[in-house]
Homo-oligomer: A and B are copies of this chain.
């Protein structure tokens, strides 16, 4: 601390992202990245954009990318907001829709960036307990004072909440915004984007970091009623006119347009997830029913922290949170079949020495 820090700098409790390592030959299953790399068309599009144009500012309105995303999801570009990864979109959403003094609700086991934003912007919040099976207790999210936010599928639990339930939450919060953070939805049943046409208080946030394998490029987006999008644009234009660069924009458009590649790789990840789930279960793990590109698991006889640390020594990175309620759980990203086979081999050695 320093006398030069503002009260905001002093009260901040920054988010700690999963480790990024420079080592090669590591099996990296700790930050839910996609094992397959982006569509080959992404590289082509980026190469075409390199050159003298880099000297020029990107489009501050990002119309072309908004149109691509709109076309893919059958909404207008006025219903689409783009940001530097879904984290930035989330930050702008906390600024645009949540009010100091009006309590918002999110699950007590959830994305740990939410309390960080709330704290920075002086938003009161209540962490609503999940049910015993780690599902969301829908009625507890009715009649919020200041709004609702939750990931769907939830993170790190991986559990999906059906759209009828989301609809109920929106109906019971007519005066505030319900944010559905769909970072992992492409590995699940269905997006709530369809509901944004019926409910002008639902905002859906997605990222191109997971299913479209562009974590390195930083593109996230929100879809909702034009009035909500307008508020997000006001926040962006009060913060940074051009948060998404030219290469990221070109790459993101190519990724959205290559539907075949997206469908093939997503299907493969889901297949590997199902196979990994069965194998972990056969080793005695309890695996929460996953609709994401990761599994959240616990074992009755194996200490989660020990498992994480021992795998780390073998150059296999998984995520251990060590926080209340989930101290005996680890989160494992779904990699390639080969990576999962290596992981399972290592786990077998660790739990049955």
Contacts and interface: CB of A to CB of B under 8 A. Distances in A.
Interface of A: 2-9, 12-18, 20, 28, 31, 33-38, 42-43, 46-47, 50-60, 84-85, 87-88, 91, 95-100, 116-117, 119-121, 175-177, 200-201, 209, 213-218, 227-228, 230-231, 233-235, 237-248, 251
Contact of A228 (B4, B31, B35, B47): B4
A95 B95 CA distance: 13
B242 A85 contact: yes
Contacts of A120: 95, 238-239
A216 B240 contact: no
| Chain copies in the assembled complex | 2
A216 B50 CA distance: 10
Nearest to A36: B55
Nearest to A1: B227
Nearest to A17: B241
Nearest to A209: B57
Nearest to A102: B6
Contacts of A176: 4
Contacts of A88: 239-240, 243
Contact of A240 (B59, B91, B177): B91
A14 B61 CA distance: 13
26 contacts: A3-B175, A4-B200, A4-B231, A5-B96, A6-B98, A6-B231, A8-B95, A9-B235, A12-B234, A14-B234, A17-B241, A20-B56, A20-B59, A37-B51, A46-B46, A46-B50, A55-B215, A55-B216, A57-B216, A58-B215, A87-B242, A88-B239, A95-B120, A116-B237, A116-B238, A217-B246
B238 A15 contact: yes
B43 A51 contact: yes
Contact of A57 (B37, B97, B215): B215
A96 B4 CA distance: 8
Contacts of A91: 239-240
A54 B217 contact: yes
A176 B6 CA distance: 10
Contact of A12 (B3, B20, B57, B235): B235
A216 B87 CA distance: 21
Given A6-B231, A37-B55, 9 more contacts: A8-B235, A9-B234, A14-B237, A33-B57, A37-B54, A47-B47, A87-B241, A216-B247, A217-B245
Nearest to A50: B43
A294 B115 CA distance: 44
Contacts of A239: 87-88, 91, 117, 120
Contacts of A98: 6
Contacts of A240: 84-85, 87-88, 91
Contacts of A28: 56
A82 to B, nearest CB: 13
Contacts of A175: 3
B99 A238 contact: no
Nearest to A61: B20
Contacts of A251: 54
A15 B245 contact: no
Contacts of A58: 20, 215-216, 218
Pairs of residues from A and B, 8 with the lowest C-beta to C-beta distance, nearest first? A14-B237, A216-B246, A37-B52, A54-B216, A2-B227, A17-B241, A9-B231, A55-B213
A28 B120 CA distance: 39
